[in-house]
Amino acid sequence: MSLVEIKDLHKSFGDNHVLRGIDFTVEQGEVVCVIGPSGSGKSTLLRCVNLLEQPQQGQVFVRGEDITDPDCHLDDARKHIGMVFQQFNLFPHLSVLQNCTVAQVTVLKRKPAEANEIARANLERVGLTEKVDAYPAQLSGGQMQRVAIARALSMDPALMLFDEPTSALDPELVGDVLTVMRKLALDGMTMLVVTHEMAFAREVADRVVFMDGGVIVEQGPPEEVIGNPQQERTKTFLRRVLDPTHVEPT
Protein backbone atom coordinates (compact mmCIF):
# COMPACT_ATOMS: atom_id res chain seq x y z
CA MET A 1 0.00 0.00 0.00
CA SER A 2 1.34 3.42 -0.98
CA LEU A 3 1.74 5.98 1.78
CA VAL A 4 -0.06 8.54 -0.41
CA GLU A 5 -2.42 7.70 -3.25
CA ILE A 6 -4.21 10.34 -5.30
CA LYS A 7 -6.97 9.39 -7.70
CA ASP A 8 -8.46 11.63 -10.43
CA LEU A 9 -7.87 14.83 -8.45
CA HIS A 10 -9.49 18.03 -9.73
CA LYS A 11 -9.27 21.48 -8.16
CA SER A 12 -10.61 24.77 -9.49
CA PHE A 13 -10.54 28.33 -8.24
CA GLY A 14 -13.50 29.90 -9.96
CA ASP A 15 -12.99 29.39 -13.70
CA ASN A 16 -9.33 28.46 -13.22
CA HIS A 17 -9.05 24.65 -13.46
CA VAL A 18 -5.77 24.23 -11.55
CA LEU A 19 -5.60 20.43 -11.22
CA ARG A 20 -6.97 18.35 -14.08
CA GLY A 21 -7.28 14.72 -13.07
CA ILE A 22 -4.10 13.96 -11.15
CA ASP A 23 -3.23 10.32 -10.47
CA PHE A 24 -0.21 10.01 -8.23
CA THR A 25 1.38 7.89 -5.49
CA VAL A 26 4.18 8.29 -2.95
CA GLU A 27 5.73 5.17 -1.46
CA GLN A 28 6.98 4.73 2.10
CA GLY A 29 10.50 6.19 2.39
CA GLU A 30 10.37 7.80 -1.06
CA VAL A 31 11.53 11.35 -1.79
CA VAL A 32 9.48 12.88 -4.60
CA CYS A 33 10.30 16.34 -5.98
CA VAL A 34 7.61 18.16 -7.94
CA ILE A 35 8.92 20.72 -10.43
CA GLY A 36 7.30 22.94 -13.02
CA PRO A 37 6.54 26.56 -13.93
CA SER A 38 4.61 28.92 -11.68
CA GLY A 39 0.88 28.32 -11.93
CA SER A 40 1.26 24.67 -12.94
CA GLY A 41 -0.61 23.40 -9.86
CA LYS A 42 2.37 22.14 -7.81
CA SER A 43 1.56 23.90 -4.54
CA THR A 44 -2.15 23.25 -4.94
CA LEU A 45 -1.42 19.53 -5.32
CA LEU A 46 0.64 19.61 -2.14
CA ARG A 47 -2.05 21.45 -0.20
CA CYS A 48 -4.67 18.94 -1.33
CA VAL A 49 -2.63 16.12 0.24
CA ASN A 50 -3.54 17.40 3.72
CA LEU A 51 -6.77 19.08 2.59
CA LEU A 52 -5.65 22.65 3.13
CA GLU A 53 -7.36 22.89 -0.24
CA GLN A 54 -10.57 20.96 -0.77
CA PRO A 55 -10.69 19.30 -4.22
CA GLN A 56 -13.89 19.34 -6.24
CA GLN A 57 -13.36 15.81 -7.46
CA GLY A 58 -11.14 12.82 -6.69
CA GLN A 59 -9.76 11.05 -3.66
CA VAL A 60 -6.66 11.42 -1.50
CA PHE A 61 -5.55 8.44 0.58
CA VAL A 62 -2.91 8.84 3.29
CA ARG A 63 -1.79 5.65 5.05
CA GLY A 64 -4.76 3.92 3.45
CA GLU A 65 -7.34 6.38 4.80
CA ASP A 66 -9.48 8.41 2.42
CA ILE A 67 -9.05 11.91 3.88
CA THR A 68 -11.48 13.31 1.28
CA ASP A 69 -14.26 11.18 2.79
CA PRO A 70 -16.66 13.52 4.64
CA ASP A 71 -16.64 11.05 7.55
CA CYS A 72 -12.86 11.18 7.91
CA HIS A 73 -11.61 12.74 11.15
CA LEU A 74 -9.30 15.18 9.43
CA ASP A 75 -7.49 16.40 12.55
CA ASP A 76 -6.46 12.83 13.36
CA ALA A 77 -5.31 12.22 9.78
CA ARG A 78 -3.24 15.42 9.77
CA LYS A 79 -1.32 14.28 12.86
CA HIS A 80 0.69 12.03 10.54
CA ILE A 81 1.51 14.79 8.02
CA GLY A 82 4.11 17.50 8.61
CA MET A 83 4.14 20.57 6.39
CA VAL A 84 6.78 23.23 5.86
CA PHE A 85 5.57 26.39 4.13
CA GLN A 86 7.36 29.05 2.11
CA GLN A 87 6.86 31.72 4.78
CA PHE A 88 7.75 29.67 7.90
CA ASN A 89 4.42 30.39 9.76
CA LEU A 90 6.04 30.47 13.20
CA PHE A 91 4.22 32.03 16.14
CA PRO A 92 6.07 35.35 16.67
CA HIS A 93 5.14 35.60 20.37
CA LEU A 94 6.55 32.15 21.22
CA SER A 95 10.18 31.15 21.61
CA VAL A 96 11.79 28.62 19.30
CA LEU A 97 11.30 25.88 21.89
CA GLN A 98 7.67 26.87 22.49
CA ASN A 99 6.99 26.86 18.74
CA CYS A 100 8.17 23.25 18.69
CA THR A 101 6.18 22.12 21.74
CA VAL A 102 2.79 23.84 21.56
CA ALA A 103 1.26 21.42 19.03
CA GLN A 104 2.76 18.41 20.80
CA VAL A 105 1.01 19.39 24.04
CA THR A 106 -2.30 20.56 22.57
CA VAL A 107 -2.75 18.04 19.74
CA LEU A 108 -0.76 14.97 20.77
CA LYS A 109 -1.45 15.54 24.50
CA ARG A 110 2.18 15.00 25.46
CA LYS A 111 3.43 16.09 28.85
CA PRO A 112 5.43 19.36 28.67
CA ALA A 113 8.64 17.66 29.80
CA GLU A 114 8.36 15.02 27.07
CA ALA A 115 7.48 17.66 24.47
CA ASN A 116 10.51 19.73 25.48
CA GLU A 117 12.82 16.73 25.19
CA ILE A 118 11.51 15.85 21.72
CA ALA A 119 11.68 19.48 20.56
CA ARG A 120 15.25 19.88 21.78
CA ALA A 121 16.28 16.69 19.98
CA ASN A 122 14.79 17.94 16.72
CA LEU A 123 16.31 21.39 17.11
CA GLU A 124 19.65 19.68 17.51
CA ARG A 125 18.85 17.68 14.41
CA VAL A 126 18.51 20.91 12.38
CA GLY A 127 21.51 22.55 14.01
CA LEU A 128 19.74 25.10 16.22
CA THR A 129 20.38 23.91 19.77
CA GLU A 130 21.70 27.33 20.77
CA LYS A 131 18.51 29.10 19.61
CA VAL A 132 15.94 27.39 21.87
CA ASP A 133 15.20 30.58 23.81
CA ALA A 134 15.27 32.95 20.84
CA TYR A 135 12.16 34.39 19.19
CA PRO A 136 11.45 34.28 15.45
CA ALA A 137 12.24 37.99 15.00
CA GLN A 138 15.77 37.28 16.25
CA LEU A 139 16.43 34.62 13.59
CA SER A 140 17.47 34.69 9.96
CA GLY A 141 15.12 33.35 7.33
CA GLY A 142 17.12 30.14 7.05
CA GLN A 143 17.02 29.63 10.81
CA MET A 144 13.27 30.22 10.89
CA GLN A 145 12.77 27.64 8.16
CA ARG A 146 14.89 25.12 10.09
CA VAL A 147 12.76 25.80 13.19
CA ALA A 148 9.69 25.13 11.06
CA ILE A 149 11.19 21.79 10.00
CA ALA A 150 12.02 20.91 13.63
CA ARG A 151 8.46 21.83 14.63
CA ALA A 152 7.01 19.51 11.99
CA LEU A 153 9.39 16.70 12.93
CA SER A 154 8.41 17.01 16.58
CA MET A 155 4.96 15.68 15.67
CA ASP A 156 6.51 12.38 14.46
CA PRO A 157 4.99 12.59 10.99
CA ALA A 158 4.86 9.68 8.59
CA LEU A 159 5.02 12.15 5.69
CA MET A 160 6.71 15.54 5.28
CA LEU A 161 5.39 18.06 2.76
CA PHE A 162 7.66 20.92 1.66
CA ASP A 163 6.11 23.79 -0.31
CA GLU A 164 9.06 25.59 -1.97
CA PRO A 165 10.85 25.78 1.40
CA THR A 166 13.77 27.86 0.09
CA SER A 167 11.93 30.31 -2.20
CA ALA A 168 11.71 33.07 0.43
CA LEU A 169 15.36 32.78 1.49
CA ASP A 170 18.43 34.77 0.53
CA PRO A 171 20.70 32.63 -1.69
CA GLU A 172 23.33 32.35 1.06
CA LEU A 173 20.81 30.74 3.41
CA VAL A 174 19.38 28.15 1.02
CA GLY A 175 22.18 25.64 1.58
CA ASP A 176 21.54 25.26 5.32
CA VAL A 177 17.92 24.30 4.74
CA LEU A 178 18.71 21.93 1.89
CA THR A 179 21.39 20.25 4.03
CA VAL A 180 18.78 19.50 6.70
CA MET A 181 16.43 18.10 4.04
CA ARG A 182 19.21 15.91 2.64
CA LYS A 183 19.78 14.47 6.12
CA LEU A 184 16.06 13.73 6.46
CA ALA A 185 16.11 11.89 3.15
CA LEU A 186 19.09 9.83 4.27
CA ASP A 187 17.21 9.00 7.48
CA GLY A 188 14.40 7.49 5.40
CA MET A 189 11.77 10.22 5.83
CA THR A 190 9.01 10.12 3.22
CA MET A 191 9.04 13.54 1.57
CA LEU A 192 6.97 15.30 -1.08
CA VAL A 193 8.83 18.45 -2.08
CA VAL A 194 7.71 21.25 -4.39
CA THR A 195 10.94 22.95 -5.40
CA HIS A 196 12.82 25.03 -7.96
CA GLU A 197 16.15 23.68 -6.68
CA MET A 198 17.12 21.41 -9.56
CA ALA A 199 20.45 20.37 -8.02
CA PHE A 200 18.63 19.20 -4.89
CA ALA A 201 16.04 17.32 -6.95
CA ARG A 202 18.76 15.68 -9.04
CA GLU A 203 20.79 14.64 -6.00
CA VAL A 204 18.17 13.68 -3.41
CA ALA A 205 14.93 12.70 -5.16
CA ASP A 206 14.01 9.11 -5.88
CA ARG A 207 11.50 10.45 -8.39
CA VAL A 208 10.93 13.78 -10.11
CA VAL A 209 7.47 14.83 -11.27
CA PHE A 210 7.15 17.61 -13.86
CA MET A 211 3.80 19.40 -13.88
CA ASP A 212 2.38 21.96 -16.28
CA GLY A 213 -1.14 23.18 -16.87
CA GLY A 214 -2.56 21.16 -14.00
CA VAL A 215 -1.40 17.78 -15.28
CA ILE A 216 1.63 15.53 -14.77
CA VAL A 217 3.58 15.81 -18.01
CA GLU A 218 6.45 13.50 -17.14
CA GLN A 219 7.82 11.63 -14.14
CA GLY A 220 10.62 9.24 -13.35
CA PRO A 221 14.10 9.03 -11.81
CA PRO A 222 15.90 12.40 -11.75
CA GLU A 223 18.58 11.22 -14.16
CA GLU A 224 15.80 10.65 -16.71
CA VAL A 225 13.44 13.59 -16.11
CA ILE A 226 16.15 16.19 -15.49
CA GLY A 227 19.04 14.54 -17.32
CA ASN A 228 17.19 13.20 -20.37
CA PRO A 229 13.59 14.47 -20.53
CA GLN A 230 11.34 12.92 -23.15
CA GLN A 231 8.58 15.54 -23.40
CA GLU A 232 9.22 18.77 -25.29
CA ARG A 233 7.51 20.86 -22.59
CA THR A 234 9.86 19.40 -19.97
CA LYS A 235 12.87 20.14 -22.18
CA THR A 236 11.79 23.76 -22.66
CA PHE A 237 11.25 24.31 -18.94
CA LEU A 238 14.59 22.79 -17.95
CA ARG A 239 16.47 24.80 -20.58
CA ARG A 240 15.08 27.99 -19.10
CA VAL A 241 15.77 26.94 -15.51
CA LEU A 242 19.20 25.41 -15.98
CA ASP A 243 20.44 27.95 -18.54
CA PRO A 244 18.48 31.17 -17.89
CA THR A 245 20.67 33.28 -20.20
CA HIS A 246 20.09 30.96 -23.17
CA VAL A 247 18.38 32.62 -26.13
CA GLU A 248 16.36 30.43 -28.45
CA PRO A 249 17.40 30.84 -32.12
CA THR A 250 14.89 32.64 -34.32
Is the entire prediction scored with pTM above 0.75?
Answer: yes
Q: Please, what's the b/e burial string for 70-92 (b: 16 or more CB within 10 A of its CB; e: otherwise)?
A: eeeeeeebbbbbbbbbbebebee
- Asked whether residue 16 carries a pLDDT value surpassing 90, the answer given is yes
Q: Cα separations (Å) of 12 from 21, 54, 55, 56, 224? A: 11, 10, 8, 7, 31
The pLDDT-based confidence of 170 (bands split at 50, 70, 90) is confident
- Whether the CB-CB separation of 194 and 46 falls below 8 Å is answered with yes
Per residue in 27-41, pLDDT (tens digit) is 999 999 999 999 999
- Whether the CB-CB separation of 164 and 198 falls below 8 Å is answered with no
The pLDDT-based confidence of 248 (bands split at 50, 70, 90) is low
Count CA atoms within 13 Å of residue 37 on its CB side: 15
Mean local confidence (pLDDT), 12-17: 94
Per-residue model confidence (pLDDT) at position 26: 96
- Asked whether residue 1 carries a pLDDT value surpassing 90, the answer given is no
- Asked whether residue 182 carries a pLDDT value surpassing 80, the answer given is yes
